Amino acid sequence: MQTTKQTNLIWFRNDLRTIDNAVLTEACANDNKVIGVYCFDPRHFEPDRFGFKKTEKFRAKFLIETIQDLKAQLHDLNIDLLVYNDHPDNVIPKLCNDHHVSHIYLQKEWTQEEVKTENNVRSITKAVNWHHHYNQFLFHPEDVNFDITKTPQVFTVFRKKLEKHVEIRQELKPQKLPEDNRIKNNTSIPTSNDLGFNDFDTHPKSAFPFKGGETQAVERLNDYFFNTKKLGYYKKTRNGLVGVDYSSKFSPWLANGSISARTIYWKVKQFEKEHYKNQSTYWLIFELIWRDYFKYVAMKHGNQIFQREGILQKDYEWSTNKTQIQQWINGETASDFVNANMIELNETGWMSNRGRQNVASYFAKELQLDWRIGAAYFESLLLDYDVHSNYGNWMYVAGVGNDPRDRKFNVQLQAERYDPDKKFQKRWLQTSLF
């Protein structure tokens, strides 16, 4: 009597790629059938405790494009991606029953909402074996030379412990499965309307005019590195405010896992080998190390990164003045530089790194507003929202995170330095309507 073949289920979350995906690689490593699932969790599109939609229209559209691309990439590997506009708690247990799922493969997460959702699913699927894989790091947690609970409080110490002493793992290449791995797939990817948004066109002045997905991420990487060689000038231009190429713009794809930090790292190394090595090529890796740092900080401190006193347990008095919060959101503060950056965010879902530091410092230090509200607004609007970097950076700027100096940005001086001819300010203040 023929036994039914068991199935490995890949639960995709923020690892929406085929290249260098440890979860995908491991799921394809035995003779079981392999299927993938992605859930547009309705909770991600509902208002949070501060009244902002957790995911606004910009990231929603980018996510839809990403899933469309992931489905096509997996199809080429003879793996079907089942897509649902529903809670994972409803979807995954049913899939386990319908497809004889014996193993679930997924990216290791450690922040509260992701863990809670996963635990809900686990409680209903007790007969299934779960396989977690760290899948979003440059320096793999199993390779670092310190205990996670001893993650240094200062970034420079963290960086020096790792960059010359811990090797970066090689990229993982996806495996194509036999055609008979395919299944009947009647699911469809939701539209923006399905998620509660009206369709919109990308703003013509957007500094991030790209689409979501692994294909676009790889195209951008190859263009920025090898076609234009803009990587060679990255350190000089990275504090820019206007245009597509002042920075790499990799962060939205990194945030939802359309590309891995390791892929970028090894492409930098390829560039250095084929062309040249300079401060700029190093600085892009330096920024990837910062990204890793906030992930380790979140692993060390857990849900403390979401608390008003932050990881430093500083009991500052924070205001929740609704008028001031709304003025900041609308770009109606006393600072034209802050206003221009906020209008850009509202119109495009993008803001430069220099802009983010200034508007966050203005919010927390000038207006003395509860930094968690600013962080929640960024979470809602930013195309490249990443839970660890977002809350890590906001804590840092608010003086409750990994900066013992507790600095405050002089927004006026910053504007004079980085926008001396007011090109950026004029760009957004003169035409805030699309």
Tokens of 154: 């200062």
Q: What is the DSSP string of 106-148?
A: EE---SHHHHHHHHHHHHH-TTSEEEEE--S-SS-TTT-SS-G
Query: Is 415 a domain residue?
Result: yes
- Is 280 found in the same domain as 311? no
What dihedral do alpha carbons 430, 50, 372, 292 form, nearest 10°? -90
User: Given CA atoms 399, 400, 403, 404 in this order, what sign does their dihedral have?
Assistant: positive
Query: Is 24 a domain residue?
Result: yes
- Is 236 found in the same domain as 248? yes
- Is 346 found in the same domain as 297? no
Tokens of 79: 């793996």
Residue 36 is given by DSSP the state: E
Count of structural domains within the chain = 3
Tokens of 160: 């020096």
- Is 275 found in the same domain as 151? yes
Q: How far apart are CA 88 and CA 38, in angstroms?
A: 8
| Residue matched to tokens 């996510």 | 63
Query: Is 398 a domain residue?
Result: yes
- Is 266 found in the same domain as 351? no
- Is 379 found in the same domain as 411? yes
Query: Is 68 a domain residue?
Result: yes
Query: Is 378 a domain residue?
Result: yes
Q: How far apart are CA 299 and CA 282, in angstroms?
A: 26
Three-class DSSP category at 84: strand
Q: How far apart are CA 347 and CA 218, in angstroms?
A: 26
All residues at 6 or more sequence positions from 123 whose CB lies less than 8 Å from its CB, including other chains: none
Three-class DSSP category at 337: helix
Q: How far apart are CA 305 and CA 353, in angstroms?
A: 20
162 backbone φψ class: left, alpha, beta (φ>0; ψ -120 to 50): alpha
What dihedral do alpha carbons 160, 161, 167, 172 form, nearest 10°? -90
Last residue of a domain, one of 82, 115, 135: 135
Query: Is 191 a domain residue?
Result: no
Rounded to two decimals, the pTM is 0.96
Q: At residue 76, what are phi and psi to the nearest 5 degrees?
A: -65, -20
Query: Is 406 a domain residue?
Result: yes
Q: Are strands 101-107 and 129-133 parallel, antiparallel or unpaired?
A: parallel
Last residue of a domain, one of 89, 116, 135: 135
Q: What is the CATH number of the domain that holds 100?
A: 3.40.50.620
pLDDT digits (tens, 9 = 90+) for 226-256: 999 999 999 999 999 999 999 999 999 999 9
- Is 345 found in the same domain as 266? no
Q: What is the CATH number of the domain that holds 314?
A: 1.10.579.10
- Is 73 found in the same domain as 15? yes
- Is 108 found in the same domain as 143? no
- What pLDDT, on the 0 to 100 scale, is given for residue 404? 65
Q: What is the CATH number of the domain that holds 145?
A: 1.25.40.80
- What pLDDT, on the 0 to 100 scale, is given for residue 433? 43
- pLDDT average per 10 residues of sequence, the chain (434 residues): 76 98 97 97 96 98 98 98 98 95 97 95 93 97 96 96 96 95 95 96 97 98 98 96 97 98 98 97 98 98 96 94 98 98 98 97 97 98 98 96 82 97 95 48
Three-class DSSP category at 67: helix
Tokens of 25: 């690689």
Q: How far apart are CA 426 and CA 358, in angstroms?
A: 17
- What pLDDT, on the 0 to 100 scale, is given for residue 55? 98
Last residue of a domain, one of 239, 267, 301: 301
- Is 279 found in the same domain as 147? yes
Per the CB < 8 A criterion, the answer to whether 19 and 173 are in contact is yes
Helix ranges (H only) for 17-111 are 22-27, 57-76, 88-98
- Is 261 found in the same domain as 143? yes
- Is 347 found in the same domain as 243? no
Per the CB < 8 A criterion, the answer to whether 362 and 338 are in contact is yes
- What pLDDT, on the 0 to 100 scale, is given for residue 431? 60
Distance of alpha carbon 170 from its chain centroid, rounded?
Answer: 21
Query: Is 73 a domain residue?
Result: yes
Cα radius of gyration rounded to whole Å, the chain: 22
Three-class DSSP category at 416: helix
- What's the domain range around 75? 7-135
Per the CB < 8 A criterion, the answer to whether 221 and 258 are in contact is no
